[in-house]
Amino acid sequence: MDELHSLYYLLDLAGTFAFAISGATAARKRNLDLFGICAIAFTVACGGGIIRDLCIGAIPPAGLTNWQYLVVSVIATALTVGFYPVVQQLNRPVLFFDSVGLALFAVTGAQKALSFGHNGEVALLLGITTAVGGGVIRDVLLTRVPVILEKEIYASAALAGAAIVVLGHNQKWISSDWVAIIALIVCFSLRILALRFRWNLPTPTNKKPKAKK
């Protein structure tokens, strides 16, 4: 039980860090000021989890009570601001960190909903919400249509990860640690492969598709 809790805690913290980096990078590209960058970093990192906690009745939300999350966000912001040339040089770092956070948050989000005694559908939907909620809020704050709704296997990967957690929870013959590890690998792989091979979900196009916006 302690091990599971430690694993859960570490996964949560690592996911927070990954998302904060991704949020700070996006905010910096839009020339936000220092507070704006930090706010977007924190929002991306904790936004999905805060919505999840409100929905499962975990009051106050974990993102607001633990100094760790805020500190991790500030550190991620400082790294992104202070070492931006380095971060910029990395090959698609935003996409990589996003994929790590995606898998971590989908799994821990679904686990937390189940641990609060809610049913499989709640865990499934809130696993996805934890994973993509922060990114959706980021895109809304930067006034663009959330990229996850337009193309790419992204939320679908989170759905796969959360679904494995829910299925594993119902099948008692496998430990939840292993379930979490399998779910993480599947979700992360799905996302990275989708990026690598440019997999997309089908877009039902009109006769003559034109770029609206």
Q: How far apart are CA 97 and CA 124, in angstroms?
A: 22
Q: Interacting stretch for a copy of itself, rule CB under 8 A, among 7-15, 91-99, 134-142, 187-195? A: 134-142
Q: Are 172 and 129 in contact (CB under 8 A)?
A: no
Our finding on whether 89 is near a copy of itself (CB under 8 A) is no
Q: Interacting stretch for a copy of itself, rule CB under 8 A, among 2-10, 37-45, 162-170, 171-179? A: 37-45
Q: Which two tokens stand for residue 25?
A: 């990078």
| Shortest CB 95 distance to a copy of itself, Å | 17
Task: Return the number of the residue (2 or 31) whose C-beta is nearest a copy of itself.
Answer: 31
Q: Interacting stretch for a copy of itself, rule CB under 8 A, among 6-14, 57-65, 95-103, 177-185? A: 57-65
Our finding on whether 60 is near a copy of itself (CB under 8 A) is yes
Q: Are 164 and 138 in contact (CB under 8 A)?
A: no
Q: How far apart are CA 37 and CA 154, in angstroms?
A: 23
Our finding on whether 170 is near a copy of itself (CB under 8 A) is no
Burial of 99 from C-beta contacts in 10 A (0-12 / 13-18 / 19+): buried
Q: Are 75 and 24 in contact (CB under 8 A)?
A: no
Task: Return the number of the residue (3 or 33) whose C-beta is nearest a copy of itself.
Answer: 33
CA 117 to chain centre: 22
Q: Interacting stretch for a copy of itself, rule CB under 8 A, among 6-14, 103-111, 181-189, 196-204? A: 196-204
Closest CA to 142 of 49, 23, 47, 38: 23
Opening angle at CA 27, ends 193 and 188, nearest 5: 20
Q: Are 44 and 20 in contact (CB under 8 A)?
A: yes
Footprint of a copy of itself on 92-121 (CB under 8 A): 118-119, 121
Among 11, 18, 37, 163, binds a copy of itself (CB under 8 A): 37
Our finding on whether 86 is near a copy of itself (CB under 8 A) is no
Our finding on whether 55 is near a copy of itself (CB under 8 A) is yes
Among 20, 110, 126, 186, binds a copy of itself (CB under 8 A): 126
